[in-house]
Amino acid sequence: MSEEKNLGDDLKDKANNAANEAKESAKEFSEEAKSTAKEFKEGWNQATNSGDNKKLMAGILGIVLGAFGVHKFVLGYNKEGIILLAITLVGFVLTCVGVGVFIVWIAGLIGFIEGIIYLTKSDEDFYNTYQVGQKPWF
């Protein structure tokens, strides 16, 4: 009976040790997860404040919807966006004459080139040129 009692005590001790180790591991995991979440939040805030999201969004929209000037509106260049949009709409109206296709094509080419320029610039250069310097074209 004493052997069974000793074996039972050993099992209880091992179970307590395993439970304590599991609690410590869970605590370490929790602290690491909080640290990772904090780093992610700081990185997200930095990216949002530095204009990285505007660069990517403006670049992609310039390539896909450049003729409509959407990338200009994203960067806050409303006058330039309206100019591109008006040129495209006039081109659509003049497509029945035949010359409108070229007008729409030129506006789309401008947006495509600007989108590529936006995406190939470094983050700092993009921010200084288009957000601080307010350079509206190319």
Q: What pLDDT does 1 receive?
A: 59
Residue 106: the pLDDT is: 92
**pLDDT value at position 48?**
52
Whether 82 shows a pLDDT value over 90: the answer reads yes
Q: How far apart are CA 46 and CA 60, in angstroms?
A: 21
Q: Please, which residues have CB within 8 angstroms of residue 126's CB and are 6 or more apart in sequence?
A: 51, 55, 118
Report the alpha-carbon distance of residue 104 to residue 37 in Å, rounded: 46
Query: Is this prediction's pTM over 0.75?
Result: no
Query: For residues 121 and 68, is the Cβ–Cβ distance under 8 A?
Result: no
pLDDT digits (tens, 9 = 90+) for 48-73: 555 556 888 999 999 999 999 999 99
Give me the pLDDT at residue 127, please.
Answer: 84
> How is the chain split into domains, by residue range?
1-50, 51-132
Find out whether 129 and 121 touch, Cβ atoms under 8 Å: yes
